[in-house]
Amino acid sequence: MSDADGKPAERRLGRGLEALLGQAVSGGKAGGNLPSQKPIADEKRAEEAPADPVQDGGLFQVNVYQIDTNPYQPRTEFDEEELNSLAESLSDHGLLQPIVVRKDGDRYQLISGERRWRAAIQAGWTEVPATLREADDQQVAEMTIVENLQRKDLGPLEKAVSFRQYLERFGASQDELARRLSIDRSTVANLIRLLELPLAVQELIRDGSLSAGHGRALLPLGQEQDQLKFARQIRSEQLSVRATERLVAERIRNEDDPHGLSQTETTTKAGDGSSREHLVPLEQKLRSALGTSVDIREVAKGRGTIVIHFTSREEFDRLYHELLEREGRDRMAG
Active-site hit among 77, 82, 114, 327: 114
Give backbone dihedrals phi and psi of 95, rounded to 5 degrees, phi first. -100, 115
**Rounded Cα–Cα distance for residues 187 and 32 (Å):** 48
**Between the CA of residue 80 and those of 37, 39, 119, 286, what are the distances in Å?**
10, 14, 10, 43
Helix (H) or strand (E) holding 241: helix 241-256
Q: Looking at this protein, which amino acid is placed at residue 187?
A: T
Q: Are the C-beta atoms of residues 30 and 126 closer than 8 Å to each other?
A: yes
**Rounded Cα–Cα distance for residues 119 and 49 (Å):** 22
**Rounded Cα–Cα distance for residues 98 and 111 (Å):** 11
DSSP state of 196: G
Active site annotation includes 81: no
Q: Are the C-beta atoms of residues 131 and 62 closer than 8 Å to each other?
A: no
Q: Are the C-beta atoms of residues 102 and 139 closer than 8 Å to each other?
A: no
By annotation, the residues acting in catalysis are 114
